[in-house]
């Protein structure tokens, strides 16, 4: 059913599948109920090299191409989206940005720890009054001698309370996207206050937080990239991030398919397994086609990145389709399970709750449609 994988890619995929079946999937429901994954899973992800994928080995990474990265994120998404999200953010948004834009000192300081899982990163862009319109952010950084003093607030920050370093975006110039600069802020810096947001529909095992910055002082060496270049950095990072969200959604859809096919073969109604009822097969077939289509869209993005080609619009397409497909797949899988799909003895209810946020974060489905529409027409409809 898949395109050809190299021996190395197939081995990474198998490693990830085994890791998920041993270390993640058996615990996912319990982590979800207690609203926290086992913190030890981070170190185990580091040990197996999943927090350093695509990062050069000289900085402690495990190298590898973007298709391998997507294969791992798909498996993690099948096991637990909370864990997949921890990797997507710490590696996909933070470590990759440091590898791409950091000074030698920033790379040496953060990358080995992030790749080993001795430290986590968070990506702090969203604010209470600027979500989709991220360029309207108001957190301000003001120069004071050789330092910056940062004041403001961020919300919905994944890994916010567990991260050791925040890649944070603040306004250093005038209004609009040109006035934004990126900073790497150790989360134990005085004045940075973090509080966890509870009551999420899904991703309940993952820490999501509000950050308050009350005159947080950092040296100019904490600036990531050029002054005023922060928004471009954020957009470039999020384009790759959309691929990793989409890969996680493929994992959710595949998990739904596996669970629904298995259940349909066992559950008997009207004297035969429900798999023998045509309308149940229709549900299964729909999930299977959505899953395969989403996977191919994700792999196309990885292939473009690995060949150094432009990929942002294709990443929006993959994220839009895969996130909506994962929601449909989980909804249809619950239908196959009947009433049993509605209780948490089976994984499909959690898949639906976890999938739902993927149509919202890293650009909502509407924002992806506007990005695709702009690429098609050249007209900005934001
Ligand atoms: C669990 C979770 C984790 C998150 N993790 C992070 C993180 O780690 N870092 C981070 O920075 N952010 C994070 N976010 C924030 C997330 O990226 C934002 O929620 C998202 O960008 C949407 O912003 P908003 O919630 O303010 O919605 P809004 O921007 O207010 O949008 C509300 C609605 O209006 C629509 N809309 C807005 N503008 C337009 C337009 N021009 N045309 C058409 N429709 C439009 C949207 O599509 C949506 O349907 C997270 C969010 C959640 C829920």
Say if residue 130 is in the same domain as residue 213: yes
Token pair in block for residue 216? 């947080």
Measure the CA–CA gap between 98 and 111, rounded to whole angstroms.
7
Do the domain assignments include residue 1? no
Please give the distance, rounded to the nearest whole angstrom, from the Cα atom of residue 355 to the centre of ligand 1: 15
Q: Of 202, 228, 254, which closes a domain?
A: 228
Token pair in block for residue 290? 């959505």
Q: Could you give the number of structural domains in the chain?
A: 3
Do the domain assignments include residue 271? yes
Measure the CA–CA gap between 110 and 97, rounded to whole angstroms.
11
Q: Which residues contact 215 (CB under 8 A, 6 or more apart)?
A: 149, 150, 151, 191
Q: Of 179, 206, 228, which closes a domain?
A: 228
Cβ 342 under 6 angstroms from ligand 1: no
Backbone phi and psi for residue 35, each to the nearest 5 degrees, phi listed first = 60, 35
Q: Of 228, 258, 279, which closes a domain?
A: 228
Euclidean distance between the first and the last CA atom of the chain, given in angstroms as a whole number: 38
Of 123, 128, 132, 210, the residue with max ligand 1 atoms within 8 A of its CB, to mutate for a pocket test, comes to 132
Q: Tell me the torsion sign for CA atoms 147, 151, 157, 161.
A: positive
Rounded average pLDDT per 10-residue block, the chain, 382 residues:
86 98 97 97 98 97 97 98 98 98 98 98 98 98 98 98 98 95 98 97 97 98 98 97 98 98 98 98 98 98 98 98 98 98 96 98 98 98 95
Per DSSP, what are the bridge partners of residue 315?
none
Say if residue 265 is in the same domain as residue 222: no
Measure the CA–CA gap between 223 and 147, rounded to whole angstroms.
10
Do the domain assignments include residue 163? yes
How many helices and strands in the chain, by DSSP H and E? 12, 10
Per DSSP, what are the bridge partners of residue 223?
183
Say if residue 175 is in the same domain as residue 286: no
Say if residue 101 is in the same domain as residue 141: no
Say if residue 88 is in the same domain as residue 36: yes
pTM: 0.98
Do the domain assignments include residue 382? no
Cβ 169 under 6 angstroms from ligand 1: no
Say if residue 62 is in the same domain as residue 73: yes
Do the domain assignments include residue 171? yes
Cβ 361 under 6 angstroms from ligand 1: yes
How long, in residues, is the chain? 382
- Give the per-residue pLDDT at 1: 52
Say if residue 325 is in the same domain as residue 252: yes
Going by C-alpha positions, the residue among 259, 299, 244 that lies closest to residue 1 is: 299
Please give the distance, rounded to the nearest whole angstrom, from the Cα atom of residue 261 to the centre of ligand 1: 34
Cβ 357 under 6 angstroms from ligand 1: yes
59-83 pLDDT, tens digit per residue, is 999 999 999 999 999 999 999 999 9
- CATH code for the domain of 258: 1.20.140.10
Measure the CA–CA gap between 380 and 32, rounded to whole angstroms.
40
The string of DSSP codes covering 157-221 is EETTTT-SEEEEEEE-SSSSGGGEEEEEEETTSTTEEEEE----SS-TTS-EEEEEEEEEEEEGG
Do the domain assignments include residue 299? yes
- Give the per-residue pLDDT at 3: 76
Q: What is the CA radius of gyration of the chain?
A: 21
Question: Which residues span the domain enclosing 15?
Answer: 7-120
Say if residue 15 is in the same domain as residue 114: yes
Measure the CA–CA gap between 88 and 51, rounded to whole angstroms.
9
Of 198, 361, 363, the residue with max ligand 1 atoms within 8 A of its CB, to mutate for a pocket test, comes to 361
Is residue 78 within 8 A of residue 6, CB to CB? The reply is no
Do the domain assignments include residue 267? yes
Residue 200 burial (CB count, 10 A) = 17
Say if residue 25 is in the same domain as residue 99: yes
- CATH code for the domain of 97: 1.10.540.10
| 227 belongs to the catalytic site | no
Say if residue 107 is in the same domain as residue 174: no
Say if residue 372 is in the same domain as residue 264: yes
Do the domain assignments include residue 350? yes
Say if residue 184 is in the same domain as residue 111: no
Greatest CA separation for the chain: 80
The β-bridge relationship of strands 147-158 and 140-144 is: antiparallel
Measure the CA–CA gap between 170 and 225, rounded to whole angstroms.
13
Measure the CA–CA gap between 289 and 365, rounded to whole angstroms.
20
- CATH code for the domain of 186: 2.40.110.10
Please give the distance, rounded to the nearest whole angstrom, from the Cα atom of residue 131 to the centre of ligand 1: 5
């Amino acid at each position: 059913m898949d395109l050809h994988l190299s021996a190395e890619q197939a081995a990474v995929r198998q490693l990830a599948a085994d890791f998920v079946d041993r270390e993640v999937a058996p615990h996912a429901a319990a982590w979800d109920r207690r609203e926290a994954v086992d913190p030890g899973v981070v170190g185990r992800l580091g040990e197996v090299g999943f927090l350093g994928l695509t990062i050069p080995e000289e900085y402690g990474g495990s190298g590898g191409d973007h298709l391998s990265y997507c294969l791992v994120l798909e498996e993690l998404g099948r096991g637990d989206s909370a864990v997949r999200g921890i990797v997507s953010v710490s590696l996909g948004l933070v470590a990759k940005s440091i590898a791409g834009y950091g000074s030698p000192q920033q790379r040496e300081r953060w990358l080995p720890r992030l790749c080993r899982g001795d430290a986590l990163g968070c990506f702090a862009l969203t604010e209470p009054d600027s979500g989709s319109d991220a360029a309207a952010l108001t957190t301000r950084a003001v120069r004071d001698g050789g330092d910056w003093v940062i004041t403001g607030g961020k919300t919905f920050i994944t890994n916010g309370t567990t991260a050791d370093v925040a890649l944070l975006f603040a306004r250093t110039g005038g209004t609009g996207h040109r006035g934004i600069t990126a900073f790497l802020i150790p989360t134990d810096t005085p004045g940075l206050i973090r509080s966890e947001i509870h009551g999420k529909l899904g991703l309940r095992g993952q820490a999501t937080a509000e950050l308050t910055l009350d005159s947080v002082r950092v040296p100019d060496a904490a600036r990531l990239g050029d002054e005023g270049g922060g928004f471009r950095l954020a957009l470039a990072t999020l384009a790759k991030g959309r691929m990793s969200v989409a890969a996680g959604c493929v994992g959710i859809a595949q998990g739904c398919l596996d669970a629904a096919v298995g259940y349909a073969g066992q559950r008997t109604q009207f004297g035969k397994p429900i798999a023998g009822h045509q309308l149940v097969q229709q549900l299964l077939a729909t999930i299977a086609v959505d899953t395969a289509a989403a996977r191919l869209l994700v792999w196309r993005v990885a292939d473009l990145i690995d060949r150094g080609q432009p990929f942002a619009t294709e990443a929006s397409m993959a994220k839009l389709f895969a996130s909506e497909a994962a929601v449909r797949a989980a909804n249809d899988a619950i239908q196959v399970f009947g009433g049993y799909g509605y209780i948490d003895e089976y994984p499909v209810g959690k898949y639906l709750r976890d999938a739902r946020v993927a149509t919202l974060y890293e650009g909502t489905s509407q924002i992806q449609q506007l990005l695709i529409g702009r690429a098609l027409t050249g007209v900005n409809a934001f």
